Amino acid sequence: MSMKKLLVTLSLIVSFVSGSVFAAPSLIPTPPQLSASSYILMDAYTGDILVEHNADQALPPASLTKLMTAYIVEYELARGNLSLEDKVSVSEKAWRMEGSRMFIREGTQVKLEDLMRGIIIQSGNDASVAAAEYVAGSESAFADLMNQHAQLLGMENTHFVNATGFPAEDHYSSAHDLAKLARATILHFPENYAMYSEKEFTYNNIRQPNRNKLLWRDKTVDGLKTGHTDAAGYCLAASAVRNGTRLITVVMGTKSDTARAVESQKLLDYGFRYYETRKLYSRGQVVNNARVWGGSQSNVKVGFSEDVLVTMPRQQGDSIQTTLDMQKEIVAPIAVGDVLGKIVVGSGENILLERPVVALEAVEEGGFFKRMFDKIKLFFMNLF
């Protein structure tokens, strides 16, 4: 559901204060217009899009490509296929890479952890190629892996041909897709995310600062990655967290290093000022004790397998209508996790979200007489 529909819904839902005074809806101004080719503002926890402009347009991503390079390394680390202590041999191809570099030397071995910092902080093309060759054997094979991961993440307007973002035909992505990738990086691999907030990295006695100026300007910003080529302009994927709400911005095609930071800051400030992430229900929270027919027990605890989060305008959470819609007949046996109904947030045509409610406990079949007795009761209940 769009944020516009969300606002309409919340404005129409009325709650009473002191029995007689109506609660006023939050008024939200038009989002800022940025000097950029494409941009998006997303809630990291819910995936809801708060602001977008040309967000699905395929554009050259420049070094924002390296978000996928780092993501694949983190994916392999999580699966136990790699270790940050691994020593990676530097090929001639990696050493000869032009553009931004970590300054690794051909024929040496570099710790994978150092390469990760070289990719994330220094935006090293040499580090990216070295990591790609280590993971997949060659950069072209790694690019194929990148496209497979892009498909799994639902990146519909993306195609990679290299690990660096170096200008190449048929190498493109979109602000929306890169926001999906940033979200996956944050949520899937939090143990490595601290690297994205580091302000500098020294390798081979060369100290280089992180090009993300927001890390210095806004203490709530903790990532993610910059990019620049003549074709792409100046790009920035950023994330910040304030009071339990985490937002992601992707801004593409600005005019300067300063502009990408300034425009990203506008989106972040707008989002945090007018929206928040609200947890409606917790994982494992019991919302119903549902009647069970033909079971070893007569009721089953029903709740959620995951936290239920929603993005909403600030100070509107208490006025949102929620409805629990359970199956009419719940018959044993029941396994933990079986879907028994759904929770609906909103009303009518303005539904904000729906989430399944599941069995939080197992219920085995009852004995023969219990099952027969319940069938008879159900039969007569359905007659009336």
The SS3 assignment for 379 reads: helix
- H or E element that contains 175: helix 175-188
The SS3 assignment for 263 reads: helix
Q: Is 87 a catalytic residue?
A: no
CA distances from 14 to 17, 21, 24, 73 (A): 10, 10, 8, 49
User: Among residues 66, 180, 225, 266, which one is catalytic?
Assistant: 66
Peptide bond into 353 cis (omega under 30): no
Q: Is 38 a catalytic residue?
A: no
Q: Is 375 a catalytic residue?
A: no
Q: DSSP of 210-247, one letter per residue?
A: -S-THHHH-TTEEEEEEEEETTTEEEEEEEEEETTEEE
- Write the Ramachandran bin of 104: left for phi over 0, alpha for psi from -120 to 50, otherwise beta: beta
User: Among residues 38, 91, 123, 174, which one is catalytic?
Assistant: 123
284-290 long-range contacts (CB < 8 A, ≥24 apart) are 284/360, 286/360, 287/324, 287/343, 287/357, 288/324, 288/326, 288/341, 288/357, 290/326, 290/330, 290/340, 290/341
How far apart CA 320 and CA 43 sit, in angstroms, is 19
User: Among residues 38, 63, 128, 264, which one is catalytic?
Assistant: 63
Q: Which residues are catalytic?
A: 63, 66, 123
